[in-house]
Amino acid sequence: MEEKNNINLNEKSITSSHPRGWDNEMLKKMDVKVWSYLEEYEKEKEQINGAIKEVFESGTLILGENVKTFEEKFASYCGSKYGVGVNSCTDALFLALRSLNIGSGDEVITVANTAVPTVAAINATGAKTVFVDINPDTYLMDVTKIKNAITPKTKAILPVHLYGQCVDMDEIQKIADYYGLRIIEDCAQAHGAVYKGRRAGSMSDVAAFSFYPTKVLGGYGDGGLVVTNNESRYERLRGLRMYGMHGKYLATESGHNSRLDELHAAILLTKLNNLNEYISKRREIARRYDNELMHTSLKPPKISKDNESVYYVYVVSHPKRDEIISKLKEKCIFCNISYEWPIHTMEGYKHLGYKEGDLPNTEKACKEVFSLPMYPELTREQQDKTINALKEILREIEIKKDFN
């Protein structure tokens, strides 16, 4: 049991209903999960099951009316003209880059404090990832560092709207205009997030979304979507997700198989109706955490005045993070760390030529940040339990510090 309790809750391992390695006894004991879809499914069962049944009975499983309608509605929700449903955000990013002709010999500027797929997608095109450090308060791309990272090979900037908050897009737009660069937004964690009155996904050449189950608009499996305002890029993306074909069985370029299924699109369509409600519930929980934890030694998430965060996660930081997390775990309250390892120091990305010390703010964040339980159906009792436990643990840590 002891060994199982030591399981590291990385993002993917918390996302199935039964985290890998956990037995039923542990699940019963798991009072406050960092994320769960089960309560939401219980509430929305009728619509979701109804949507699934309709697809099964419709006679169309691939690229039918559900995908088309979802693409239109979600793009319009984002304030964008066109949407192309694909099978993940990793693919959405990869195809977005391909649609901008970015590949071998090119450089793309992004951050190392992100999910691995941001970088995997750049890598898959053959382009080189160039990292800039993050702002230590928001944990987002430090836009003041971009200019120094630009070389004659730079083709694009890829800001990641991490944790539910948008990057300073006006500044990025200015730099992109001046140097003639493309912008691709990674919106995997920012459905509905607003920056200066504009929604995530509407502030770039192409933007990529994920519908991985944990996301603010989460599906019941994998899924992704690309949005753009450019008609010819939209047409190209439709071909790229379908073997490069722009006519029946006629490939005009080399493409991929990356389609959003009718089944997932139908479920996402029903959930899209509730997206604003999911967001407001997340904001309510965040406000409680803000108010209750403001006088503790936890550093809360800083939301810039230009942003309305959707709180994909509520991220806090503390130098004694690991101790806090393990004490919370003893009380059956489960937190998550995103991200524990900065991508520039990972074995898989050694070839990019970075070493520890190159991105100090990113490296510090990876040692200190963690996220509190956050999903729309998190009950008031679960919030109280988390808040009270945190206050108690933090008090103990402060007392210990005073005696040392």
Ligand X SMILES: Cc1ncc(COP(=O)(O)O)c(C=O)c1O
Cβ 153 to ligand X shortest distance, Å: 23
Residue placing its CB nearer to ligand X in the complex, 106 or 186: 186
Q: Which are the contacts of 403, defined by CB distance < 8 A and separation ≥ 6?
A: none
Residue placing its CB nearer to ligand X in the complex, 118 or 361: 118
Cβ 89 to ligand X shortest distance, Å: 3
Residue placing its CB nearer to ligand X in the complex, 118 or 317: 118
CB atoms within 10 A of CB 396: 13
Cβ 216 to ligand X shortest distance, Å: 11
Cβ 142 to ligand X shortest distance, Å: 17
Could you tell me the CA-to-CA distances from 343 to 86, 117, 339, 352 in Å, in that order? 25, 10, 9, 10
Residue placing its CB nearer to ligand X in the complex, 115 or 369: 115
The DSSP element (H or E) to which 114 belongs, if any, is: none
Cβ 110 to ligand X shortest distance, Å: 10
The DSSP element (H or E) to which 361 belongs, if any, is: helix 360-368
Could you tell me the CA-to-CA distances from 271 to 44, 247, 267, 375 in Å, in that order? 9, 32, 6, 14
Which residues is 210 bridged to in the sheet?
Answer: 224
Q: Which one-letter DSSP state was computed for residue 159?
A: -
**Residue 81 burial by CB count (10 A; 0-12/13-18/19+): exposed, middle or buried?**
middle
Q: Which residue has the tokens 């810039």?
A: 304
Cβ 218 to ligand X shortest distance, Å: 10
Sites of contact with ligand X (CB under 6 A): 88-90, 114-115, 117-118, 160, 186, 188-189, 210, 212, 222, 224
Cβ 295 to ligand X shortest distance, Å: 31
Residue placing its CB nearer to ligand X in the complex, 90 or 129: 90
Residue placing its CB nearer to ligand X in the complex, 200 or 378: 200
Residue placing its CB nearer to ligand X in the complex, 163 or 385: 163
The three-point CA angle 94-98-104 to 5° equals: 95
